[in-house]
Amino acid sequence: MTDNAAPSSTLPQPAMAQSGEDLLSRWRHSGEVGLVEPEAPMLAAQDTDESSGLTTSGPGAGEEEAPGEGEEAFGDDAPRRAGRARRLFSHLTVARTMVSVVLIAALGAAGWFAYQNHTNSAAAADRAAAVNAAKSDALALATYDYNHLNQFFAEVKSFSTPGFGTTFNKGAQSLVKVLTQYKATSSAKLASYGVKSASGNRVTVLVVVDQTVANSASKTPSAQTEAFEYTMVHQGGRWLLDVAASVH
């Protein structure tokens, strides 16, 4: 009976798995006899992080991931960000400066207009006060009664400057005898008025009065219209009569 099994010497022997130590021994031996070392088998690399005890697999394990395409590392982008921040701060500074200038200009204009309005209002109020004083003085000068001449002279003095009061008193005293002798009386009402000029504390006012005069020499009172130019000056917080002139 023939044995079908082939002699072991005639069959190729399967390659035995080589351990890492056997491969290392062969690499060393090859180096000694000048042979080329065989390439190491491609094994999955396993690196152990000694500090953490973790194991990572694959090529490049343990290395930091490089920035992707189109991305920049933070360190490389820092100067650019700093530049943008400086430009933004510069723009904001310019904007704040412009806003401040505009606000100052607006406030200055508002202040100037407010001052002008105040000045104009004050000037208008002063003119109105001077006109009112001139109207009152004109009626007082055109109204008298021979029975109350002392009261008449005292009233005129009260609204006159010292210069005008002295001048008027001297002229009026020479008329006391005539006014008393003919029992003269006079009444007046305001016809019209207007400002001729105004400058500082001096205002000249034109006043027209309708005057009615009665005396013992005439049986009927006489009516007449008189126009006067009064110069008023502001003294001691009041508008006083400084010059009175008849206008023909």
Tell me: the pLDDT tens digits for 186-235?
A: 999 999 999 999 998 999 999 999 999 999 999 999 999 999 999 999 99
**pLDDT confidence bin for 132, thresholds 50/70/90:** very high
Residue 17 is assigned to a structural domain of this protein: no
Give the count of beta carbons closer than 10 Å to the beta carbon of residue 139: 16
Residue 109 is assigned to a structural domain of this protein: no
Residue 159 is assigned to a structural domain of this protein: yes
Beta bridge partners, 229, equal 206, 245
The structural domain count of the chain equals 1
Tokens of 180: 């008393």
Say if residues 192 and 209 touch (Cβ distance below 8 Å): no
Residue 180 is assigned to a structural domain of this protein: yes
CATH code at position 223:
3.10.450.230
Question: What average pLDDT does this structure show over 51-63?
Answer: 47
Predicted confidence at residue 112, as pLDDT, reads: 53
**pLDDT confidence bin for 108, thresholds 50/70/90:** low
Residue 73 is assigned to a structural domain of this protein: no
Residue 130 is assigned to a structural domain of this protein: yes
Average pLDDT, the chain: 74
Question: What average pLDDT does this structure show over 82-105?
Answer: 63
Residue 106 is assigned to a structural domain of this protein: no
% of the chain with per-residue pLDDT over 90: 45
pTM of the entire predicted model: 0.55
Say if residues 164 and 235 touch (Cβ distance below 8 Å): no
Residue 216 is assigned to a structural domain of this protein: yes
Tell me: the pLDDT tens digits for 158-190?
A: 999 999 999 998 888 888 999 999 999 999 999
Q: Which domain holds residue 168?
A: 119-247
